[in-house]
């Protein structure tokens, strides 16, 4: 988009488009079946580079291609289910004797279009963790950073957490730098 909210691009015959974040700006890639050499799929992919003043035809890159079909190797979203979230499961951790998990918090680069949430599971023995249920807050929601963990499972034992890393566009989930579970 230009600063005035308009998009000054003229094109026709395009069947695929992608957004590319490069150098901190949102660029636009367009490709299609427009014949340019007489062959059915010979065409060009156009990369419209964005900048401080918006899109400028002088910053357009034209690349030869054989149609748009290879523009996307995978669809946006999680490669597992095309959802907006990716999941990370921690290694199991043994809590000290007679303690339980009290709070969970994390440090992550979260924007207005991304999120992180968590669940835990606990078991008396490490090999019982895979059968333990994942739990979050008492209302059934996932934990938010800084939430208290209700008493679940046995005193002491083993704990594991999993994070859901989400992005509204299904592309750039937030990086997480640290996860801390306070116990006592």
Residue 83: what pLDDT?
A: 76
Residue 61: what pLDDT?
A: 80
**Tokens describing residue 177:** 């730098």
The helix/strand/coil state of 14 is strand
Residue 16: what pLDDT?
A: 47
* 106 burial type by CB count under 10 A (0-12 exposed, 13-18 middle, 19+ buried): buried
Q: What is the full DSSP assignment across 126-165?
A: GGGGGGSPPB-STTSPPBPTTEEPPP-S-SSEEEEEEEEE
What is the spatial distance between Cα 46 and Cα 116, in angstroms, rounded to a whole number? 35
Residue 38: what pLDDT?
A: 61
Residue 72: what pLDDT?
A: 55
Q: What is the pLDDT along the chain (184 residues), one digit of tens a residue?
A: 444 544 444 444 444 445 555 555 677 777 765 555 565 556 677 777 777 777 777 888 877 766 555 555 556 666 667 778 889 999 999 999 889 999 999 999 999 989 999 999 999 999 999 999 999 999 999 999 999 999 887 767 999 999 999 988 777 788 999 999 999 9
């Amino acid at each position: 988009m230009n600063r005035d909210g308009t998009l000054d691009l003229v094109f026709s015959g395009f069947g695929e488009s992608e957004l590319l974040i490069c150098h901190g700006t949102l660029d636009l890639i367009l490709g299609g079946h427009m014949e340019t050499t007489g062959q059915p799929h010979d065409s060009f992919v156009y990369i419209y580079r964005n900048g401080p003043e918006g899109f400028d035809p002088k910053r357009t890159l034209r690349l030869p291609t054989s149609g748009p079909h290879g523009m996307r190797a995978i669809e946006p979203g999680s490669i597992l289910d095309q959802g907006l979230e990716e999941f990370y499961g921690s290694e199991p951790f043994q809590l000290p004797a007679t303690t339980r998990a009290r709070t969970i918090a994390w440090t992550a680069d979260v924007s207005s279009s991304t999120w992180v949430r968590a669940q835990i599971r606990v078991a008396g023995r490490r090999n019982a963790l895979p059968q333990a249920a994942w739990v979050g807050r008492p209302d059934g929601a996932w934990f938010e950073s800084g939430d208290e963990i209700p008493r679940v499972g046995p005193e002491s034992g083993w704990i594991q957490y999993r994070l859901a890393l989400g992005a509204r566009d299904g592309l750039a989930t937030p990086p997480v730098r640290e996860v801390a579970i306070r116990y006592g």
